[in-house]
Chain A
Amino acid sequence: GENVEQHPSTLSVQEGDSAVIKCTYSDSASNYFPWYKQELGKRPQLIIDIRSNVGEKKDQRIAVTLNKTAKHFSLHITETQPEDSAVYFCAARGGSALIFGKGTTLSVSS
């Protein structure tokens, strides 16, 4: 089955800096790669996603890139703000359900 590795596990940046989180997946049949943000005590919320036929997708300060050959994808957050502080999960879908990485705790200090 699918296995998703995520790095780093923690990331601390200064407000205004960029943050990058990287994930790799194992199943070459996976074709959908979402990113979720989870704030303390809340449910995971989708922030951006990408399909395997697209190399990059951007939504304001957030972008995701996908390298299908290398089986890795990354989340890029520019101009970070304190409200970006949360746990971020990458995921991959090859079958019907999403399989998640272990998460990255992002801390943005002002």
Chain B
Amino acid sequence: SAVISQKPSRDICQRGTSLTIQCQVDSQVTMMFWYRQQPGQSLTLIATANQGSEATYESGFVIDKFPISRPNLTFSTLTVSNMSPEDSSIYLCSVVGAGQETQYFGPGTRLLVL
């Protein structure tokens, strides 16, 4: 299975600021996704990160708030912009390898906005 790392693992931020989360995979993957998991809740899909083109966002999520980049097959970033306390959550990168069905998750980035 793919080894997925995320940076930072956790952060405490002030409202109104932005944070960029990095996701690095040790092998080329076909699909990369970003999920949000609010405390005690399920996993909500934010967007599909598309290599070399704009991400595909789910209903309720917009590019201005959550800009995403995916410059190659092993790396993606998610930025949480103009943060408010409601953005406090765990953000997880998730990938599907070439020719596979299994979706693996990164360790997550735990974000607290004050």
Contacts and interface: CB of A to CB of B under 8 A. Distances in A.
Most chain A beta carbons < 10 A, residue from B31, B41, B45, B94: B45
A43 B45 contact: no
Contact of B42 (A51, A93, A96, A101): A101
A101 to B, nearest CB: 7
Interface residues of A, number: 20
Interface string B69-100: 00000000000000000000000101010000
A70 interface: no
Interface string A42-60: 1111100101000000000
Contacts of A103: 41-42
Contacts of B42: 89, 100-103
Interface of A: 1, 32, 34, 42-46, 49, 51, 89, 93, 96-103
